[in-house]
Amino acid sequence: MSAEDEDLYRCLLRLTEGTPPVLAEHLGAPVDEVEEWLARLEAMELTSLADNGSIRPAPPAIAVQRLIDLRLRELQEELRRVAAEQRVVESLLAERDAVRPAVRGASERPAIERVEGTPNVRAVIDELTFFTREEGLTTQPHGALSAASIEASRPLDARILRRGIKMRTIMRPAAVEDAPTLAYLQEISAMGADIRISDKPLERMLVFDRAAALTPIDPQNPRLGALVIRETGLVANLVSLFERMWSDSVPLAEAVAARQGPEGGLSEIERKVLATMYQAEKDETGAREVGVSVRTYRKYVADLMQRLGATNRFQAALLARDHGWI
């Protein structure tokens, strides 16, 4: 955001709204330059067009969040470019493979390794995720995810997807019924993850590049720990089991549509978003009440307004009531 963009945004805040000529007069700048600055603010979603044709600024809290999101995307792109140019992952893999045999006194790590305790399991998952280059396969037999599980998974999943790695996950139907879990699945699905829902029993597993896999030591007590499997034949059997479970599942969007019913109703989380759209003063408040991130909340709001043909949130609430959605 340039100094001119900031001055223009601050001017809009002071005036609450304005047209290019009015803003140019207040800023002492040519109208054509002000129009260029306005175009940049619009591209950053920091302004909106009022019904009377004037331009209004986004609320400061929302504007700051959008600028943060924009900067994060720029940083992610820069990191991806640097990693691709310098082949960071490949060099780290080579360094790891060169050191481990000497340290362990063997050419490879154990075919099956027992890792006890949740912190140790997460450390192993972090490492395997970091060195994954092509594909990650995951099943979640327990359906809904806890808030702690979502927070632990978010950076790992984002790391995989930002690197262009294929990610396939199978969940139980309970995941679609739980608002925070569904929101998270839709969040990573928008980033490129392939999510499917199965109404059949699932075996818990994580598979990395079809070369290493994790399964629980005791499926009834996941906190006990996990088995890290690197033996080629065993990993291949787990991949085969995953593919069978995958073929028996349906895409996330299809599962959500089936839950909504043939008349195109709303999911539970969409109803919650609608209920907060005209009650919550800030997106942050609405997102907190629904139990999703601000970015996900805004995506739901935009989708609902488009489906309803509404031009503002209050109108969307009225139209939703006319449709019998709330």
Of 256, 284, 305, which residue is a domain's last? 256
User: What is the domain count for the chain?
Assistant: 4
78 and 51 part of one domain = no
252 and 147 part of one domain = yes
251 and 126 part of one domain = yes
On whether the CB atoms of residues 170 and 246 are closer than 8 A, the answer is yes
Prediction pTM value? 0.52
Q: What is the pLDDT of residues 18-28, one digit of tens each?
A: 888 888 888 88
Name which residue leads in pLDDT, 278 or 59.
Answer: 59
Domain of residue 87: give its range: 59-108
Task: Give the separation between CA 297 and CA 282, rounded to whole angstroms.
Answer: 11
> What is the pLDDT at residue 302?
83
Of 232, 256, 280, which residue is a domain's last? 256
Name which residue leads in pLDDT, 87 or 40.
Answer: 40
197 and 153 part of one domain = yes
- 308 has a pLDDT exceeding 80: no
CA separation (Å) from 274 to 24, 93, 290, 298, 313? 38, 48, 10, 11, 9
125 and 98 part of one domain = no
50 and 87 part of one domain = no
Q: What is the pLDDT of residues 214-248, one digit of tens each?
A: 999 888 887 889 999 999 999 999 999 999 999 98
79 and 199 part of one domain = no
243 and 175 part of one domain = yes
Q: What is the pLDDT of residues 103-160, one digit of tens each?
A: 444 445 788 899 998 888 888 888 888 888 889 999 988 778 888 888 888 888 888 8
